């Protein structure tokens, strides 16, 4: 009998029959258990400046080994990494690295300025088991760990990762439930991820200012208030959108970005405009 089980990693709670793959394309019901299809499979590996994550106030001037795989649990029509986010296990050849091998590679790069490992490019948290296992080893090896994420992870799994991660960049894609529904995500889950991560690690927030999705000034004022209530020192990156993938609205107005930055600086101490 084929048993239907629930993947409870993220707020989608996919109900999966035997051999069925979840929405993210990275998790599958195999023999009645949820198994990761991305464990150790990397499609992109690069040594990046830490500022590229973007992290502007964490270990400035350093480099970090950055890895990404396939899959995502959101559906942003303007996705900058859709080739990875919408890919599945059969789409690309991948480089397989165990957690030990990835940590060893990161240690080998310390001589040229590497400080650790960043999980990025696609949505890393759908690869929860690998991040957890690798981050434990990285901590033992005195390496930093960074996660660049939309924050769509349920609390029990997040709490398991929190002691292991040095720094987070969390995308706050909109400041309304309606905006998140349009992008296939859960608004409250991202807010909770930000709150909990900020209690124990360095957190920076990125908002891609997308016309008709995240450019409403009234909603943005609420976003600023939310961040300020947590900690006014949390950096906020306001990034300019350009048409990409399935979204064809014109690029974000630079004057709007400047207006939003001015508004944010009334309550936040570290606000940066990017991609202009």
Which structural domains are found in the chain, ordered by start? 38-274 (3.20.20.70)
Lowest model confidence (mean pLDDT) among 23-32, 74-83, 122-131: 74-83
Q: What is the pLDDT of residues 38-70, one digit of tens each?
A: 999 998 999 999 999 999 999 999 999 999 999
Three-state DSSP class for 4? coil
Hey, how many other C-beta atoms are within 10 angstroms of the C-beta on 266? 10
Instruction: Give me the mean pLDDT over the 229-245 stretch.
Output: 96
- For residue 111, CA distances in Å to 8, 63, 116, 146 come to 40, 11, 12, 19
pLDDT tens-digit map of 139-191: 999 999 999 999 999 999 999 999 999 999 999 999 999 999 999 999 999 99
At 36 the three-state DSSP class reads: strand
Q: How confident is the model at residue 1 (pLDDT cuts 50, 70, 90)?
A: low
How far is the C-alpha of 227 from the C-alpha of 233, rounded, in Å?
9
Interhelix angle 217-230/187-200, nearest 10 degrees: 30
Q: Is the peptide bond before 54 cis (omega within 30 degrees of 0)?
A: yes
Distance, CA of 168 to CA of 200 (rounded, Å):
10
- What's the confidence (pLDDT) of residue 86? 83
| Res 16 pLDDT > 60 | yes
pLDDT for position 52 = 96
Mean pLDDT rounded to a whole number for the chain: 96
pLDDT score recorded for residue 80: 87
For residue range 181-222, list pLDDT tens digits in order.
999 999 999 999 999 999 999 999 999 999 999 999 999 999
């Amino acid at each position: 009998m084929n048993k239907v089980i629930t993947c409870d990693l993220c707020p989608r709670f996919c109900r999966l029959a035997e051999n069925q793959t979840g929405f993210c394309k990275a998790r599958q019901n195999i023999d009645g258990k949820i198994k990761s299809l991305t464990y150790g499979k990397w499609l992109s590996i690069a040594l990046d400046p830490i500022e590229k994550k973007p992290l502007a106030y964490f270990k400035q001037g350093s480099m970090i080994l950055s890895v990404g795989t396939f899959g995502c649990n959101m559906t942003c029509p303007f996705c900058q990494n859709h080739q990875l986010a919408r890919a599945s296990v059969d789409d690309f050849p991948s480089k397989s690295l165990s957690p030990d091998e990835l940590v060893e590679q990161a240690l080998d790069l310390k001589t040229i300025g590497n400080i650790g490992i960043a999980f990025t490019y696609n949505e890393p948290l759908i690869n929860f088991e690998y991040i957890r296992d690798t981050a434990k080893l990285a901590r033992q090896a005195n390496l930093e760990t960074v996660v660049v994420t939309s924050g769509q992870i349920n609390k029990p799994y997040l709490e398991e990762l929190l002691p292991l991660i040095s720094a987070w960049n969390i995308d706050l894609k909109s400041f309304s439930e309606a905006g998140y529904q349009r992008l296939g995500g859960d608004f409250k889950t991202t807010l909770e991820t930000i709150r909990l991560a900020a209690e124990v690690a360095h957190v920076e927030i990125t908002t891609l200012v997308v016309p008709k999705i995240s450019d409403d000034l009234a909603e943005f004022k609420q976003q600023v208030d939310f961040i300020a209530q947590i900690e006014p020192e949390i950096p906020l990156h306001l990034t300019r959108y350009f048409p990409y993938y399935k979204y064809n609205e014109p690029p974000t107005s630079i004057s709007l970005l400047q207006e939003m930055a001015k508004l944010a600086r009334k309550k936040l101490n570290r606000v940066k405009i990017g991609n202009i």
